[in-house]
Structure formats: C-alpha cells, structure tokens
Amino acid sequence: MSSGKILVTGAAGKIGNAFWQEREDKSDLRLADLDVTQLPESAQRFALDVTDQASCLRACEGIHTVIHLAADPDPDADFMASLLPVNIVGTYNMLFAAKAQGCKRFIFASSAQVIEGYPTDVQIQECMAPKPGNLYGVSKAFGEALASMYANDGQMTTIAVRIANVAKFQQGETHSPRDVAAFISFRDVVALLNNCVEAELKGFHVIHGVSDNRYKRLSIDQSRKVVGYAPIDDGFEILEGGAQSD
C-alpha cells in the first residue's frame, strides 16, 4: 500500500528514535514530541502535547498514517497525575484527531502489560482478551478498545501493537525468565512497525511485538500472517552468546 506521510508521536523516545534513525529518507516523516530539539531537521518536526486536542488536530493534518508512541511508559506511573491525562486522554485526542483529519491508518503502541494479569507460564495469543496486571496496562487496554471502536465504520484501519520488552541484551547478562521471553530487539520492533505501516489491512488488528525467542511470552503466529512479521533475534540465544542484538 502507499503509506503517504507518516506522523510519529513520541518520536524522541527510544522506539521513536530507532524508527526514524533506520530510515535514510525522512522526507515522508512528521516527527512529534514535547521537545523536538533532538529530532532530525531532515524530517518535519512538530512540537506536540497530546493532552491538547487542538495540537493533535494540527499534527494530524495531511497525514496518512499515525504511529502513536507518545505515552508515559512507566508501569508504576501515577494514574491521576500521568496515566489518565497522557495515556488515556492523550490517546483519545490522537485517535479523535486522526479520524477528524481523514487519516487512513492508526498504529497504537500498546504493551505486553495489557496481558500481565495472566500466569507467566501461559502464552498469550493475539485473540485473547486483555488482562492487565497494573494501571499502566489498564491505560493501554483502553487504547486498544478505543482503536477498535474507531475502525468500526471502515474508514480508518487501526492496529494495536503489544510491544513487549524492548532492550539490548549482551552475552552473560542475567534477566528474569519473563523478561527474556518478552524480549524484542530494536531492529525487530522497527521492522514490525514498518510492516504495520505497509501491510494490506482493513479493520482492527492486535499484533504482538516480541522477537523470535525460544519461548515467547506473546505468540506471534497471527502477527506473522497478518503483517508478515519475521523477527530475526532470540533473547535466549543472545544471552548464551550465539548472537548479538541490534
């Protein structure tokens, strides 16, 4: 599909940085964050406060695809002070603005925290209902539900990407079994987001973001089929010295 111009919110964060740094040609990007001073001048920069709906409307003007990464990523963030205004109201503002401005695709950065209420020995399938383990997960579950609603009339495709443990592993490091099973490398998460931009899709979809780990906290069987996700890295293998994450 022709992706047109892409708006990336939270573009100064670690995933946003990885996404735009991987692209040689940044002319089709509008990179948005509260502070744009660290963003490249080769892309269009936009100072965005997602809690301000008018700012969100301006950010979405002329945009085909939104990659909404902006959020408070702290699992222990205070609900009233941060999760409510940034993750919940901010996501509402962005989806409202995208729809109002005629955007065709909205990619929402959800989180593995949406399903952390399930036992750790249960592998989560894409079709399984959210079961948050904390209020951060609740804020992301709200975003998934809202994205689903905004796809109902068929005018905008929405994708919730449950991004797990984005990290750089090194041989010999010690991590919890859960964190290894949830590992996703930077190159795999960038490839996944690019696939979500380009895949031929309609409606609403839940996609899982983990690398090709020996055991995966999140199944990627449907994600492979729906968006052609083909992860390269394996967190277990990297820690054992068989490969290096990128």
Cα–Cα distance measured from residue 190 to residue 196, given in angstroms and rounded to the nearest whole number: 10
**Which residue type does 8 have?**
V
Reply yes or no on whether 150 is catalytic: no
**Among candidates 115, 110, 73, which has minimal Cα distance to 204?**
110
**Among candidates 204, 99, 109, 200, which has minimal Cα distance to 157?**
204
Q: Are 8 and 105 in contact (CB under 8 A)?
A: no
Q: Are 60 and 75 in contact (CB under 8 A)?
A: no
Task: Record the tokens describing residue 59, joined without a space.
Answer: 């950010």
183-184 vs 204-209, strand pairing mode: unpaired
Question: Among the options 118, 136, 150, 215, which is catalytic?
Answer: 136
Task: Record the tokens describing residue 51, joined without a space.
Answer: 């809690």
Catalytic residues: 136
